[in-house]
Amino acid sequence: MNEIFLETLGALTALIVLWTLYSSAIRHKVETQPGSRFLIAGFFLIFLSLAIDVTDNFPNLNKYIIIGDTPIQAFIEKGLGSLFGLILLAFGFQRWLPAILELSLAKKNIKKLNSRLEQLVDERTKELSEVNQQLRLEIKEREKAQSQLDKQMLQDPLTQLPNRYALLEYLEHERLRSTSQGSFQAVFLIDLDHFKSINDSQGHSFGDKVIKAIANRLAFNHRSEDFLGRLGGDEFVLVLPNMEGTTQEAALQTYNNATAMHELIKAPLKVEDQQVNLSASIGITVFSYNSTHSSEDILRQADIALYHAKDKGHGLFSFFQPEMQKKAQIRVEQAGELKNALKNKELYLHYQPQVNQQGQVIGLEALLRWQHPTKGSVDPQHFVKLAEEIGIIDQLGRYILRMVCQQCRDLASFDFPDNMLKVAVNISPTHFLQDDFIEQVEKIISNYALGNIQLVLEITEEVTIGDVDDLVNKMNTLKKLNVHFSLDDFGTGYSSLTYLKKLPIDSVKIDRSFIHELPHNNEDASIVTAILTMTRSLDISVIAEGIENDIQYQFLDQLECQYYQGYHFGKPDSIHALIQENHLIDQRKLKPISNDVNHSKSEN
């Protein structure tokens, strides 16, 4: 009974294995694996052999099984079936097992690769996340930098006010959005007067603080709809938009605003515990966006009006008029001509004698002249002022100093009263207040042996704007180079009496405006008398300029004025003409020229 059970169990086991292999072959294509068909065939033969063993125990089933009639035949059939089955299984396992092992190894490798791949993916994901985060930070920083650049491009860094580019954008934007056909706009160009003197005397750091202070004052005193900006340097701009009414009403509004603006700027300003008094010139243009003028044209009109205001004086404002355009074009042409004249050495000097009470020539004043090739003689007051406006006054000043030293060195060998001939040169305040002015003068005079020629720099009271102590130090340094100083136009400025004791001045020149009506104008006579009395007590010599007749001379002589200058004693002329006409040599004695006198050094 146990034998039948075991045989049946073995047959069922073989059947299950056979069915498993067969179903796998059908579903999962196991037959593609090496040896799988041998395994199926082997298990089939073994199953068949085991099934024959089971049927031996049941004679009724023998008819379903092909089996030999004799026991020997049955054994051979079962034995051969089992043998062939085992042989097929051996071949099958021989081929199948390495494939399975290889597949298993491949799975392990795949698993490892998957694990490594996941690790790499995680690492790369982390890296990409960090890069993405860094990229976001860089984008944010770039956006911030771009925003700052955009802000800088449209904003003045010192005052934080809009700049010229922002102004042009504003005007164009207003032009596009303007729908009102009856409104007017006004542009104010505001230029602080003599601001360069503050920079030169107090330094640019102090000047920047003044600019910020005046910008804050302007910012707090204009309407929210107005445009306030800084164009650079000491120049501001104010735009008044949408002024309703007629042209005359808009002009009246603009006039009132300009007047208020002047008063606002003139109010004392306190910077670093110093009181600063400012004034401004303002150029104004009133326009409507219906005109064909561009934003640049509008600014050009305001700039032309500003020049016209400065040409009339300081602390004034001027409205643009069409005829100003032509004058502005002429000014541009004259500026170019002046630069060429300086470059081509078309400018020359005349000298006007200065005499003492005995009529002896004790000095000369160098006066610049320009003989234009086509326009003839050009007024010095005009082109000197033009040189200041276009920024070449320092070049002009060096040109004059060099020419004076060159032309007057030939006089250095002769005797004069007090053994000295003073040669006076007018120096612009803008030039004098430059930081390297001392070096400029020293470099020029070191190239010439001037002997008994005394160089005198004539300065005006405008140089006293700013740090007086620094001015005194500069003057004392120049005096060590044998340079003297004369205060020109004395009596016309507010600081004459205040600074006369502080500055190392050698002489003052009474302005011709006080001389012209002497002795009949009692007020002028009193002023001249007071000046002579005061300077005598301070031991400062006085030159009265503009003496045109003997009556003026006699009056001043009675007041014991020491020195005189004017047409009464001689008109300005060249050095050679003055010598030939005996304006110089008749009052001096020739003395031998020493062999070691070096007339000039290299002229750089």
Which of 106-115, 246-255, 428-437, 532-541 comes out lowest in average pLDDT? Answer: 246-255
Structure tokens at 186: 């006004």
* Per-residue model confidence as pLDDT tens digits over 177-214: 765 556 788 899 999 988 887 887 778 888 899 999 99
> To 10 degrees, what angle do helices 36-56 and 71-154 make?
140
Q: How far apart are CA 443 and CA 427, in angstroms?
A: 16
Within 13 A of 110's CA, how many CA atoms are on the CB side? 6
258-299 tens-digit pLDDT: 899 989 999 988 888 888 889 999 999 988 876 667 888 888
Residue 510 or residue 591, greater confidence = 510
According to the model, what pLDDT value does residue 235 have? 92
pLDDT surpassing 60 at residue 317: yes
C-alpha distances (whole Å) from 496 to each of 151, 278, 487, 500 are: 47, 19, 9, 6
DSSP letters spanning 332-383 = HHHHHHHHHHHHTT-EEEEEEEEE-TTS-EEEEEEEEEEEETTTEE--HHHH
Enter the DSSP assignment of 420: -
Give me the pLDDT at residue 594, please: 36
Separation of alpha carbons 542 and 533, rounded Å: 10
CA 467/CA 499 separation, integer angstroms: 12
Residue-wise pLDDT for 491-535, tens only, equals 665 555 667 778 888 999 988 889 988 888 899 899 899 889 988
Residue 400's pLDDT band (boundaries 50, 70, 90)?
very high
Residue 457 pLDDT > 90: yes
Look at 217 and 40; give whichever has higher pLDDT. Answer: 217
Question: Which comes out higher in pLDDT, residue 427 or 144?
Answer: 427
Confidence (pLDDT) at 141: 84
Q: What is the model's pTM?
A: 0.57
CA distance 35 to 97: 8
475-483 contacts: CB < 8 A, separation 24 or more? 475/503, 475/504, 476/504, 477/438, 478/438, 478/441, 479/504, 481/441, 481/442, 481/445, 482/454, 482/455, 483/441, 483/445, 483/455, 483/456, 483/457
What size, in residues, is the chain?
604
What's the pLDDT score for residue 210? 92
| Listed residue (165, 173, 174, 188) closest to 288, CA to CA | 174
Higher per-residue confidence, 163 vs 67: 163
For residue 576, count other CB atoms closer than 10 A to its CB: 10
**Residue 37: left (phi > 0), alpha (psi -120 to 50), or beta?**
alpha
Confidence band of 488 (pLDDT split at 50, 70, 90): confident
Q: HSE, CB side, 13 Å, CA atoms: give it for residue 425.
A: 25
pLDDT, position 229: 93
Predicted confidence at residue 183, as pLDDT, reads 77
Q: Give the residue-averaged pLDDT of 363-368.
A: 92
